[in-house]
Amino acid sequence: MKILELTEQNFEQYVMHSEKPVIVDFYAPWCAPCKSMAPVLEELSSEHPDCPIGKVNVDEYPNLAREFQVMSVPTFFLIKNGKPEKRVTGAVKKSELEKWCIQAES
């Protein structure tokens, strides 16, 4: 599954109303750790095609970042049934996000 660029216009549809848990990456284009995580998310997306992954640019959509109390980037959420179930801030190991993907696929 392709990584979705999430916006204030499509966030509700793709994340809050998703039948599956969704991994959401709050990032900024100028953020070095965010850039280092981009290939990890691409790998997860190809290795786990049934795992929905989306990205929110906090510079373009600060209201979404505020709503989820994102204070630093990258911040990753696993959102299930419209509610944040897990949250981690900073660059994380692929294996950590892979666990979330496996949960989202089941």
**Residues marked as catalytic:** 31, 34
Q: CA 79, 28, 75, 35: dihedral to nearest 10 degrees?
A: 110
| Helical packing angle, 32-47 and 94-105, nearest 10° | 40
